[in-house]
A = this chain, B = another copy of it.
Amino acid sequence: MLYIRELMSSSKPAKAKTQANLSQYSQTKRQQIVDGAIRVFLKYGYADTSMNRVAEESGVIKQTIYSHFSDKEGLFRAIIETLTLEHFRNEFGDNLSFEESPDVVLRRIGTVFMQRKDDPSYIALMRTVIGESARFPELARLYVNTVIGPAKQALSAYFAAQKQLQISEPEATARIYCGSIVSYIMTQEVLHGNEIIPFDSERFLNTLIAMVLGQKK
């Protein structure tokens, strides 16, 4: 009953105790738990999520959760790690072409980025990671390392490579570009500023792109 949780910690591919996987029956249950926990944790935050509610939402009994995860913290960490890694996969897929003209590239990655504002799970993840960044600083750092860092790095390298743009501070420029969009989403969606101080997202993007492309050395 205990060795399951060893296999699952940080979702390593299993260590071949008897066979490869405790396939299907158990894995399915684990996925149910993860799916349900994602919904509940992202909706209510860590402190206000009860394990009873997770069990209910997952369609699983509480003991089953504790046979897959050590405790509430372990489950929460696993959930946030999973979501963070998923976001990494999607962030700057293959949008950073060095051959197309910069305005096309900047607009495409800006648009893709901006689309996240309509994804409730993205909004909820931002809120949760930030909201729990005092209690779970290591999860915040994971997010920085996995999502923000690589995105910033990739865009920074792009700016540095596009000599005709004459960008003397590629990293700062990359931070400004991404940060502006993040802040826009934060204000309009996370903080519900939508109806209070509305502003068209395309118009915002246009200004931002013009600013980056038009800056003097």
Chain A residues packing against B (C-beta within 8 Å): 43-45, 47-48, 124, 126-135, 137, 140-141, 143-145, 148-149, 152, 168-169, 171-173, 175-176, 178-180, 182-184, 186-187, 190-193, 196-197, 199, 203-204, 206-208, 210-212, 214-216
Contact = CB atoms under 8 A, between A and B. Distances in A.
Main secondary structure of the interface of A (DSSP, over half): helix
Contact of A191 (B44, B133, B183, B204): B133
B145 A196 contact: yes
Tally of this chain's copies: 2
Given A141-B191, A215-B215, A172 B133 contact: no
Given A133-B191, A187-B144, A211 B207 contact: no
Contacts of A129: 191
Given A131-B132, A134-B124, A192-B144, A204 B175 contact: yes
Nearest to A207: B172
Given A178-B183, A192-B141, A197 B148 contact: yes
Q: Which of A173, A184, A208 gathers most chain B CB within 10 Å? A: A208
A211 B167 CA distance: 10
A176 B134 contact: no
Contacts of A211: 173, 176, 211-212, 215
A40 to B, nearest CB: 12
Q: Which 6 A-B pairs have the closest CB atoms?
A: A131-B131, A179-B183, A47-B47, A172-B207, A214-B216, A144-B193
Nearest to A128: B131
A203 B169 contact: yes
Contacts of A168: 207
B137 A197 contact: no
Given A137-B192, A211-B211, 15 more contacts: A45-B134, A47-B48, A130-B131, A130-B191, A140-B190, A140-B191, A140-B193, A144-B191, A169-B207, A172-B203, A173-B211, A175-B199, A176-B204, A178-B183, A210-B216
